[in-house]
Structure 1
Amino acid sequence: MIFGTGVDIVDITRFERLLGEGNERLFGRLFTEHEREYCAGKARSAQHYALRFAAKEAFLKACGLGLREGMTWHDVEVVSDRLGKPELRLHGRALAIFTDLELAKTFVALSHDGNFAVAMVVLERS
């Protein structure tokens, strides 16, 4: 049974600007070390940062909570499986909320076109 859905769209040029400004502190607050390493290794790193940020926002919308209840940006991490498919890895407060809501599975889809990155998250209840 579907519990919630969330979608978010991000302007990639915003992340290009932030990268150009060398705003490491902000990126450290928004993304886990693993996410920063992954994105930094890509030719269009801003695109990958934007996709991950959109996925985090979409997850928060699907939960219906936003960034509250003690949740931080690091509590939702975007990883790739061995074939490159994106997945969400939940930590800390996000994992606790996921468990409290008796949710069983997350589904995430990422896409980009031109200057835009979009993510959709579906949460399934057991």
Structure 2
Amino acid sequence: RHTLANILETGVYTINHITAEIYKQAHQTSAKYPRHISEFDATGLSPEYKAGFKAPFVKESIIQLGVELKERIDLAINGTIMIIGEITKLFIPSDCLSDDGYLDIEKAGTISCTGLDSYHTSQRLERLNYARP
């Protein structure tokens, strides 16, 4: 709940892919904890600090992205704030990344969330060639 304040204060944040093993704990991080309560402590996930980066990654996450804040945009249309960042750190198991740069999220076990509370596994249908006219 204090993610925006932390991003604005430090200028960095992390994005961590979730898997079937940790999705319930990851979901629990959306609870409205008081500022003095660490989401890591409350959910049992482990913070992982990496050299040269201020924000913690989720140790249990297979794919981890370190992001630097580039722009904050206040959206008057609905009273929300859009954060734009640049990925500066990327941690991916080598067996999940192909020589052509393809990231195999199915192999990584990444799951997705739709809405606020529905979680789904990933299953690749097919890799197609680059579309051309």
Give the TM-score category using the shorter length: under 0.3
* Structure having the larger proportion of residues in helix: 1
